[in-house]
Structure 1
């Protein structure tokens, strides 16, 4: 095997190792992608010159003690993609009026996702709200405002600049909780009309 031949050559022929740069890490030769790729190419080629150059390339990158078979490998590879936050199904909206329906999910600890959302858009002052202290929607129980679309700003319940919801016809939307409020603290979420103090549709979580 060429790999064994290369490693054997390293042990016999390398006189001293080198220091890795700040953009490199000293890792086992078998875990370094670029070097493994070079070895793979050489192992599939009968060109003795290529094989010799590959051996020399590996020798030039040896670090640490020779018997450890470690090499300087680039450490500025792209970081792995973040794992998407898992969505946990919470239930469906109970329809009250204005054709409100939707499937509700928790996403992480600070987001609510509503899928297949429907709403006729006829409420004059309607937006999403939640409560952490009462067991069902009420004007006095609203202490969490969930603005949509969320543009980085959170609102108090009496803030007249809370964006009013447009109609929806099966869309998926994401609501962001304000700092200090966890999804697990919510007892209910409602598509609520502040002007009339009523819920157009809601889900009870407690």
Structure 2
């Protein structure tokens, strides 16, 4: 019984996402060790799963940031939209090491509307890593 509880607890703590969904692509690393695979969740097309997400947590005012098709340019820039982290927080991202997380797109936005997702520094207006959506 103890072993089962330990294994269940480990799975929950590790952010165990059983079916990540449809692969969008890998986050392109630019700064701060940002890596991970981005998927559209099978549960909802307004949820994104980021598998094996890494970020060193050292950037100031760093957030998840999206651009929409037909509204934002082809490059990642300050015209994007802030996406809360996996806990619904909009503050600076913490350090992540091989984390499996789910983020919810805001304002009823669907993944089909998204042009790009970035790990973005709001102070310096810098892209630390991104993925473009098909």
Q: Please state which band the TM-score falls in when normalised by the shorter chain.
A: 0.7 to 0.9
Aligned residues: 112
Aligned partners of 1:136 and 1:187 also within 8 Å: no
Matched, 1:100 2:34: yes
Offset, 1:85: 7.7
Aligned partners of 1:104 and 1:113 also within 8 Å: yes
Aligned partner of 1:131 among 60, 67, 84: 67
Moved over 4 A (4+): none
* Aligned residue runs from structure 1 range 35-184, under 5 A: 87-107=21-41, 108-132=44-68, 133=71, 134-140=73-79, 142=80, 144-151=81-88, 162-184=90-112
Any unmatched runs of 5+ in structure 1? 1-83, 154-161
Q: Deviations over 1:120-167 (max 9, x none)?
A: 110110010100022221112x0x22111333x7xxxxxxxx311001
| Bigger strand fraction | 2
TM-score by length of 1: 0.51
Offset, 1:86: 6.8
CA distance in 2, matches of 1:115, 1:99: 15
- For the pair shown, the structure with the greater C-alpha radius of gyration is 1
Aligned equivalent of 1:199: 127
Aligned partners of 1:125 and 1:164 also within 8 Å: yes
Any unmatched runs of 5+ in structure 2? 1-17
CA distance in 1, matches of 2:37, 2:132: 12
Q: Deviations over 1:88-117 (max 9, x none)?
A: 111000000100000000012110110000
The verdict on how the C-alpha distance between 1:204 and 1:169 changes in structure 2, with shifts beyond 3 A counting, is: same
